[in-house]
Amino acid sequence: MPDFSHIAHLDLTVSDVEASAKWYAETLGLTRLRRSDLDNRIMIVLIHKATGLIIGLNQHHEPAVDRFNEQNPGLDHVGFAVTEREELDEWERRLTELGVDHSPVTDSPSGSGTALVFRDPDNIQLELWWSRPRQ
């Protein structure tokens, strides 16, 4: 069977591409690469330099809905890994300083890891996740 190595990019639909690009840059430290004005949408491409992850933000000219809801078919949430459990506490402080509403740092019920959950301006659920080392 063919295989793949990693996620090359992630594209998200947003309601205000410029506001979202600013939020992702300020909140997650992404760097803006370019803006493309296309026939059906405006797209801003950002990069997370430490990992090389590309995130595309797309504002469609004729959106189907005005707010994300993970209970609809499609995307549920996006999880970003941290390497140490203590980093979640640092992220919690940063999100608080930025005024970003978030959950407390919470251990998963299964005991597999710990999460910090927050949402972008369009209500897309984002998560910072630390995986407990396997024993």
Within 10 angstroms of residue 114's Cβ, the number of other Cβ atoms is: 18
pLDDT category at 67 given cuts 50, 70, 90 is confident
Task: Establish if 92 belongs to a structural domain.
Answer: yes
Residue 115 lies in a domain: yes
Query: Parallel, antiparallel, or unpaired: how do β-strands 125-131 and 78-81 relate?
Result: parallel
Averaged over 66-92, what is the pLDDT?
91
pTM over 0.85: yes
Shared domain check, 89 and 52: no
Q: Residue 48: which domain range?
A: 1-61
Count of structural domains within the chain: 2
